[in-house]
Amino acid sequence: HAVVSPMATFGYGVYVGPGTKVAAMACLGNHCSIMANAHISHDNQLGDFVYCANSVSISGGVSIGSTTYIGANSTIREYTNIGNRAIIGMGSVVVKDVADGQIVVGNPAKPIKNLTNLKLSDGTTGNAK
């Protein structure tokens, strides 16, 4: 079973997996999915459609933008900001802010690609959706 603080708030359609802990003052947006054995610490803000894979650990005061993916066994340092549509690779240790559309991997997590201003097949530039 999951352990959820009565002082945490959830949007619509949120899933919290078994063994997960959600601390006081955590705020999860609509349609977030938090898989098994994750830890969402105090005072975190998760946007809509955030996906946290198994055993993710998010320290206190973290802000995560909408439509962001956090890979399994990743750790995010306290008071870090993660942008919209970002991807955190499996097992990453995030110690710095992550920009919108950025893909980061490793320990410490480093950017490997940005999903904004991509060259599209028609020769124009645009953002991944």
Pick the CATH number of 3-126 from 3.30.479.10, 3.40.1280.10, 2.160.10.10, 3.40.50.620: 2.160.10.10
Range from 29-38, 55-64, 82-91, 108-117 carrying the lowest mean pLDDT: 108-117
Amino acid residing at 51? Y
DSSP state of 116: S
- Assess whether 1 carries a catalytic annotation: no
- Residue 43 confidence (pLDDT): 97
- Residue 115 confidence (pLDDT): 82
Q: What confidence category does residue 127 fall into, taking pLDDT thresholds of 50, 70 and 90?
A: low
Domain boundaries, the chain: 3-126
Query: What is this structure's pTM?
Result: 0.90
For the cut 60, the answer to whether the pLDDT of residue 40 exceeds it is yes
- Residues with Cβ within 8 Å of 99's Cβ and at least 6 positions away in sequence, in order, are 83, 86, 111, 114
